[in-house]
Amino acid sequence: MEATPHTALTVVALGFVLAFVLGATAQRTHFCTLGAVSDWVNIGDTGRMRMWLLAIAVAMLGAQAMHAAGWVNLGRSIYTGSQFNWGGYLIGGLCFGAGMVLASGCGAKTLVRIGAGNLKSLVVLLVLGISAAMTLRGLFGQWRLQWLQPLSIDLARWSLPTQDLPALLAGGAAAPALTIAVVVAVAGSILAFVFSSPDFRRNREAIAGGLIVGLVVVAGWFVTGSLGYRENPDTLEMTFYATNSRAAESFSFVAPVAYTLELLMMWTDRSLGLTFGIAAVLGMIAGSASAALLTGSFRWESFTSAADMRAHLLGGVLMGFGGVSAMGCTIGQGLSGLSTLALGSFVTFGAIVAGAVATMRWQVWRLERAG
């Protein structure tokens, strides 16, 4: 189907609307990936971790169903390529996990906190965006290409066109039956764990939060990978409209922050414009602000000390570098990426959690030592 003059606008507008829902939901239900890890490590509460896992399972089932139906080709996303950059996934994930602890939240939570009046998160957002831009095309990017990129493994050498789990298990193109079996096994195992807790089964707000977040990620794939995938009338080639990656996308909140800052600073550059990712950044803030104002939870908050500011600045730098190096954050890899069943997304997810846990343990050790 040929694109219309409104195709890009449709992608951007729907990206904003979906992110608005995501931001409002995160604010209302306290959906937070850092909170999920922190609750689990520090007090043994797995409620928010189960909410995150529920969102992962829903996103996985929905995205794979659309892929099977031919509505979206997840093989045209950045996650499932044959380049398995294990160094980027591992080091980037560890850096991001550590950064989100120091900065009191991941990229998505930073946007949610800004909407609720947190000025600390505004500073983190600016630093994260600059760090991400430096990792995309600046000084950090040179280090990334010099040290991490050479560690990539080209799976195509072993006749593996993609890194999604069904293809890896099949040793090549996976049959539909195998893909279905993998999806059912992985998503089913996650759901079995999620609902094994009687407390979680009674927590309607957490269940609703997980379902909505997962469905928003699914909808994001449909917007960019179906509605936004059209024939370019100028080149007669199929094109993904209004995506920074020139591929199918769903939600992620590191590189899009860098693109947002770039657009604001270079507004008159006609080669730049609003994209799905930029609209998502703005929509998250707007949705969170609306929910905070409606519930009376909007509060201005700033740094309490120089040490507090130092930690948040370092956290922003680590998240910007780590998120770009790992090709995603707790939402980008930990939800959108996992929904594609990409092996790199599973590695990144584990690295982010490990980095966060290690940093939390270090913080506790410092407090005990100081006391």
Q: How far apart are CA 258 and CA 137, in angstroms?
A: 11
What are the structure tokens assigned to 155, written together? 């799976």
Q: What is the DSSP letter of 244?
A: T
The pLDDT of residue 318:
98
Average pLDDT of the residues in 188-194: 98
Who has greater pLDDT, 1 or 263? 263
Instruction: Name 190's Cβ contacts closer than 8 Å, sequence gap at least 6.
Output: 53, 54, 56, 57, 60
What are the structure tokens assigned to 19, written together? 């992110």
The pLDDT of residue 275:
98
Tokens 């031919």 appear where?
Answer: 70
Average pLDDT of the residues in 342-369: 97
Sign of CA dihedral 113, 117, 120, 123: positive
The pLDDT of residue 351:
98
- The 10s digit of each residue's pLDDT in 247-260 is 999 999 999 999 99
Average pLDDT of the residues in 261-275: 96
The pLDDT of residue 184:
97
- The 10s digit of each residue's pLDDT in 42-99 is 999 999 999 999 999 999 999 999 999 999 999 999 999 999 999 999 999 999 999 9
Best CA proximity match to 99, nearest among 356, 337, 346: 356
Burial class (CB in 10 A: 0-12, 13-18, 19+), 300: exposed
Average pLDDT of the residues in 93-120: 98
Tokens 């948040």 appear where?
Answer: 312
> Any idea how long the chain is?
371
pLDDT > 90? residue 240: yes
The pLDDT of residue 5:
85
Percent of the chain at pLDDT exceeding 90: 96
pLDDT > 90? residue 135: yes
Q: How far apart are CA 297 and CA 341, in angstroms?
A: 37
Helices (H) and strands (E) in the chain, counts: 16, 4
Domain ranges, ordered by start, for the chain? 7-370
pTM above 0.95, yes or no: yes
Average pLDDT, the chain: 97
190: confidence class by pLDDT, cuts 50, 70, 90: very high
The pLDDT of residue 133:
98
3-state secondary structure of 153: strand
Question: CA dist 50 to 25, 331, 348, Å?
Answer: 16, 15, 18
Angle between helix 255-265 and 119-137 (nearest 10): 90
3-state secondary structure of 231: strand
Backbone phi, then psi, for 17, in 5-degree steps?
-65, -45
The pLDDT of residue 338:
98
What are the structure tokens assigned to 370, written together? 């100081």
How crowded is residue 85: how many other Cβ atoms within 10 Å of its Cβ? 24
Gyration radius (Cα) of the chain, Å: 20
- The 10s digit of each residue's pLDDT in 192-235 is 999 999 999 999 999 999 999 999 999 999 999 999 999 999 89
On whether the CB atoms of residues 256 and 244 are closer than 8 A, the answer is yes
pLDDT > 80? residue 371: no
Average pLDDT of the residues in 154-175: 93
Q: Would you give the end-to-end CA distance of the chain in angstroms?
A: 66
What are the structure tokens assigned to 62, written together? 């929905």
The pLDDT of residue 55:
98
Q: How far apart are CA 274 and CA 277, in angstroms?
A: 8
Q: Are strands 83-84 and 229-231 parallel, antiparallel or unpaired?
A: unpaired
Best CA proximity match to 299, nearest among 34, 33, 27, 37: 27
Percent of the chain at pLDDT exceeding 70: 100
On whether the CB atoms of residues 283 and 11 are closer than 8 A, the answer is no
Q: How far apart are CA 221 and CA 223, in angstroms?
A: 6
The pLDDT of residue 2:
84
Instruction: Name 153's Cβ contacts closer than 8 Å, sequence gap at least 6.
Output: 83, 84, 85, 86
